[in-house]
Structure 1
Amino acid sequence: MYFLLSQLSFLDICYLSVIVPKILENLIVGTIGISKKGCAMQMFFFLFFGVAECFLLAAMSFDRYMAIRYPLHYAVIMKSRVYKSLVAGTYVCGTAVGLVHTIITFSLPFCGLTINHFCEIQPLLELLCANTSPTEIQVIVVAVLAVVGPFLLIIYSYIRIIFTILEKSSAESQQKAFSTSSSHLLVVTLFYGTASSMYLQPKSSYSASVDKLLSLSYTVVTPLLNPIIYSLRNEEVKGALRKRWRKIIFA
């Protein structure tokens, strides 16, 4: 579990590093331009880390299911080789999706040069001169495979987890099992809820102002909240927060 959490933290740091530095440069320095190659690189790495995180969250749900369903055999089943294979698979999927979208998008002619957004698929479709219907279909198909596919695996894993928890006899073991999965389930809800609403929509329903808020939520807000959500599972962290809260109230 902690190996997968370390990978999630790494992806969150990289995910933030793709967008936030350029946003800060635009706000502080006042520069508003980006080269075509720079935009292509930003789009590739944005998709690469985003899709890799989708599949990593699915791998984490599978890990939680194995830990709850087979606690005594967990260390034997989930060996280091299995973890490394799962993580390698997430990076392969991220690379494939990033390359496909970036190559297809930037091989088409652009009519406009101004984008009121960072380099993401939906805003770039607005600038294309050619017929974008095939590209829109490709975006939705890949989104179904890269977003909905892992999400369905997560749902299936949690259905099995719930049935497994309900089979446990003691209330203490049930509470511990639910506590083990609650943090991951909250992270999944935050990430998938905003990402799916962004990518599983046609260009006709695109709204720059709304989609910028959605993009910021899953590229900035969610990665910042992930460490907090997982830290709240730690009793020492919760004790320190309660102690600090009492000092604030009774100060």
Structure 2
Amino acid sequence: MKPLTEKLYTIPVIRRIVQLIMVGGLGKWAFYGIFRCPFLVPFVNCQSCPVLTCWGRLTAYFYTAWLIIPISAILVGRAFCGWVCPVGFVNQVLGKAAIFKLRSRKKILRFGQLGMALLIVACAYIYFIMDNPRMMIPIRTGEVFNSIYLSFQHASPFWLARTIFIIVLIIGSLIVANAWCRFICPAGGLFEIVKKISLFGIRKTSACDNCDACLRVCEMGTRPEEMNCNNCGSCLHVCHNNAIYWGKKKHE
């Protein structure tokens, strides 16, 4: 039987395997949501979308996804971001080569999360007040990338601005590690709110002496239970005081 520490070392490997599987399962939906969805806020009007090839039009697929996501948030907090989300996986891969890791407990970094709050408000306004308008005519002629090119040519300035904004910030993870996931993603912002009541997660005990060993290995530049922790499990084996564990919060 493998010792516990050896098992913990295998968690990042298992996570990458799960992420690759999820890229195969959800990657097309994420790709279409960014590049082909004609609505300003993607992923929420799939049942009335004219893009016939998007997986979101499959009723079972669409409603299963939107049922599992909130349930997962209540059970395991922001683990969806660290284990399932295809965009999160792309961000993490790009973040490996990022110029600035921003692994710090400086309070000024907390202001970065205002980007999430602002985008949540903007998305809510577009969806509830503007009724999430269709701002692009998805043109389908020939192969996928040519269709996307033609769709971009005939899209409204608002849709172009939205899409370019997302692409630039995702690519921005080459400058600031996981910039989109840490400071912008509205879904991540909603997960941050719900994870406060989540049942399970990566926790730290009162034995923590703030050595920041966990912070130095964290892709999201954080510590267990703190802002942007996505329960990836990479820090479970690094604490010299064994102050990090997986499970329910202990009342000490």
Same fold (TM over 0.5): no
TM-score when normalising by structure 2: 0.28
- In terms of Rg, which structure is larger? 1
Identify which of structures 1 and 2 has the higher relative contact order when contacts are C-alpha pairs closer than 8 Å and 6+ apart. Answer: 2
